[in-house]
Amino acid sequence: MELDEQELKKELNLKRATQDETKAQRASSYYYKEFQRAETEGLTRVEIIYRRVGKLFSMSVSKKDEQSLQESIDTLGLRITPQQVMTTSVVAIVLGLAISAVVFVLTFSIMVFLLGLALTFGLYSYFRNYPTNKVKARKLKSSTELVMAILYMVIFMRHTANLEGALRFVAENLEGPLANDFKKILWDVESKKYMTVKEALDVYVNQWKETNPEFVDSVFLVTSSMYQVSDEKRLGLLEKALDRILQGTLETMVHYSNALKNPIEGIYMLGISLPIFGLITLPIIGAFLSELISSRALIILYNFLLPLGVFFMIQRTLANRPIAFSYPDISHHPLVPKPGWFFITLGKKRVSLPALPISLIVFATAVIPYLVYLFINPFGGIPSEWDVYITLLPIVGTALSIFFYTYLTSFQRLKLREEIENLESQFANTAFQLANRISEGFPVELAALKVAESMKGSESASFFYKMVDNMQRLGMGAEQAIFDSKLGALVYYPSHLVSAAMKIMIQGAEKSLEIAASSLSNVSRYLSNVHTITEKIKDVLSETLSSLSFESSIVAPMISGIVVGLTSMIMMILTSMNLQMEQLESQAAASEGGFGLSSVWSIGLFNVKDAIPLTTFQLIVGIYFIEVVILMMYLASQVEFAGDPIKQKQKVGKTLMMGTIVYTFVTLGVTILFGGLTRFALTIGGT
């Protein structure tokens, strides 16, 4: 009996130990930790605003709006309610209207009131549509990884028909929202929210049914491959899955590129060309109606309202952007500088410097001479060409400061990114060579060395030399030589694509060299297909993107420069005419009973003195030109790079610099030409 009790105690202790071990394993689960962290994160600022306003006021929401908002809130995991969203948006519009009315009463400025209204409705739209827009932005960011998700699933499922393993493989090799989505699928299965991985995957994929049907079809083909009896049919479905999303991506991008032409033309005409051409008439109108057209009104209209309008038009155009391809994440690269910083080399040391102070110094260097000129020649003087020349300084200074900041914060990151992109673009050929060497009977180490020697000077050679060096000099195994967190070959080439291919090779090599070679051969073929579609998509978008770049760097600055030159001529002519009329008026007043045309000018129908100063006009046009270039390049970079911040900065800085050079030379040329003609004509007229 005692023995039975002892055995019972041992059994109980064993069960407790097993339960504790299970709890420990669950607590240490990667996916459990990921979502536990997400649940315990603090509230965002927007959530805090919603909740605080919701405590003070409460509004009812229609069932349709409540359902739509709740779906978005659930997708994002926000800790707010539809009622709080609606209440906050209404409070924003009421407060905005009240403040705008008060400001109008104090200033009696219609343009200030219109600016207040624009900001009010902008705030209302922001708070009202925040959950919906956030879901769209998240889906857009996720969509850049959809092709790679299918690629990773197909690569894994080709040699191991295990759906859970494939999803785990995808979650480990993706970044961003889509990686979190796949982790969430696995966690939902672990937490018993869904009984099977397929059930959880089907529920998730249903979210993409309307926006990316090709992704849904591809996932269906991948899951269907598990139920095929023969390997031939199973592998055939996997091939179809990858082909479906690649061809679907190409087709949707072709349609999107064709559909882009009209919206881009509309944005350019309504937001850029017409407003700039309209500026030509403003000096003449301002001379007659100086009370209605003031400098403040023009600044609000051209430097605030119009750019906001262009931005919203661009956002609407980008809302329907289809999926594209992702870009390598270099945030964990050991040589990448901190955000807003860059490296310089002093001897053997690398020194980190901030980019913002340098750009501010460049801006100040250009602006200080302009301020000195204004101090010596205040507003209200006789306009001349020198007003245009000196006002170019703050415009050029602003453009240069933006260029320096964008260049200094992107050039080193871009170089690292290009190295990884080159490695990925070469990897189809690299994987094919490596597969051939392994199939010839060479072990992984020697096969990698032979591939490196055959590709000397390339990023692929550097990658494999590092891998072989780790194996020979440090005695690492193939897996550690590649994936070691400090010394692995992937440390300086943090590519998820290469990482996934190497994992497949290592897993295959554990079974046999033949399987490893076969896996790499399949990876090579898949990567070649992806590369082919990528190049086709670039060709499809090239016409639209080149048109955007040309309009931003050449056409817009040229038109702006011509407008400034013509305006300077008009202002000089009107001022000269005004001076001559004043002389006639004084002569007429001196003569008894004199009354002529000068009296018409004297009663206020023509007032050049209160018109917009040429220096202010040049600043308004110059700042608007800079805003236009930035907005158009934002559109181009979003279309081409799908929100890649590094290439977006580089494209904005490069195009802005080119546009500023064109703007400066055109402004100087037109001003010198028309200024000389104006002086010549006035001299002849005076004689």
> Across residues 216-245, what is the average pLDDT?
90
- 293, pLDDT greater than 60: yes
> Across residues 609-614, what is the average pLDDT?
69
Residue 240: pLDDT band (50, 70, 90) is very high
Give me the pLDDT at residue 406, please.
94
Give me the pLDDT at residue 20, please.
42
**CA of residue 164 relative to chain centroid, distance:** 33
Residue 325: pLDDT band (50, 70, 90) is low
In sequence order, which ranges of 29-81 are alpha helices (DSSP H)? 30-40, 45-56, 63-76
- 55, pLDDT greater than 80: yes
Residue type, 517: A
Mean of the per-residue pLDDT values for the chain?
81
More confident residue, 452 or 60: 452
Give me the pLDDT at residue 663, please.
93
Give me the pLDDT at residue 112, please.
77
| 93-102, 299-308, 330-339, 570-579, range with the lowest pLDDT | 570-579
More confident residue, 666 or 329: 666
| Neighbour tally for 54: CB within 10 Å | 19
- 37, pLDDT greater than 60: no
- 480, pLDDT greater than 60: yes
- 142, pLDDT greater than 80: no
Is-contact 185 201, C-beta < 8 A? yes
Q: What are the pLDDT digits (tens) for 495-541?
A: 888 888 888 888 888 777 787 888 888 888 888 888 888 788 888 88
What is the SS3 assignment for 410?
A: coil
pTM above 0.85, yes or no: no
Pick from 315, 264, 305: which is nearest to 132 by CA?
315
> Across residues 299-304, what is the average pLDDT?
85
Give me the pLDDT at residue 2, please.
42
In sequence order, which ranges of 377-443 are alpha helices (DSSP H)? 385-408, 411-439
- 22, pLDDT greater than 50: no
Based on its alpha-carbon atoms, the radius of gyration of the chain, rounded to whole angstroms, reads 33
Cα distance between residue 119 and residue 97, in whole Å: 10
Give me the pLDDT at residue 630, please.
92
Residue 32: pLDDT band (50, 70, 90) is low
- 656, pLDDT greater than 90: yes
Give me the pLDDT at residue 581, please.
66
Cα distance between residue 378 and residue 455, in whole Å: 66
Q: What are the pLDDT digits (tens) for 159-194?
A: 888 999 999 988 888 877 888 889 888 988 888 888
- 606, pLDDT greater than 80: no
Residue 661: pLDDT band (50, 70, 90) is very high
Cα distance between residue 396 and residue 665, in whole Å: 11
- 28, pLDDT greater than 50: no
- 21, pLDDT greater than 70: no
Percent of the chain with pLDDT over 70: 83
- 347, pLDDT greater than 50: yes
| Neighbour tally for 664: CB within 10 Å | 17
- 358, pLDDT greater than 90: yes
The tokens describing 588, both together, are 């007429």
Is-contact 32 190, C-beta < 8 A? yes
Pick from 663, 552, 557, 656: which is nearest to 268 by CA?
552
> Across residues 342-360, what is the average pLDDT?
90
Give me the pLDDT at residue 368, please.
92
| 27-41, 276-290, 493-507, range with the lowest pLDDT | 27-41
Is-contact 492 330, C-beta < 8 A? no
Question: Which 8-state DSSP code applies to residue 474?
Answer: S
Residue 376: pLDDT band (50, 70, 90) is confident
Give the domain ranges of the chain. 1-41, 50-143, 146-227
Give me the pLDDT at residue 660, please.
94
Pick from 89, 79, 71: which is nearest to 48 by CA?
79
| 59-63, 159-163, 460-464, 619-623, range with the lowest pLDDT | 59-63
Cα distance between residue 35 and residue 294, in whole Å: 56
> Across residues 194-198, what is the average pLDDT?
90
Residue 609: pLDDT band (50, 70, 90) is low
More confident residue, 209 or 27: 209
Cα distance between residue 159 and residue 511, in whole Å: 11
Give me the pLDDT at residue 264, please.
83
Cα dihedral 237, 240, 245, 246 sign = positive
| 337-341, 478-482, 510-514, 647-651, range with the lowest pLDDT | 510-514
Give me the pLDDT at residue 121, please.
86
Residue 604: pLDDT band (50, 70, 90) is very low
Cα distance between residue 160 and residue 231, in whole Å: 11
> Across residues 65-86, what is the average pLDDT?
82
State which of 96-105, 143-152, 389-398 shows the largest mean pLDDT. Answer: 389-398
> Across residues 352-366, what is the average pLDDT?
94
- 657, pLDDT greater than 90: yes
- 356, pLDDT greater than 80: yes
- 74, pLDDT greater than 60: yes
Give me the pLDDT at residue 15, please.
43
Give me the pLDDT at residue 578, please.
66
CA diameter of the chain: 141
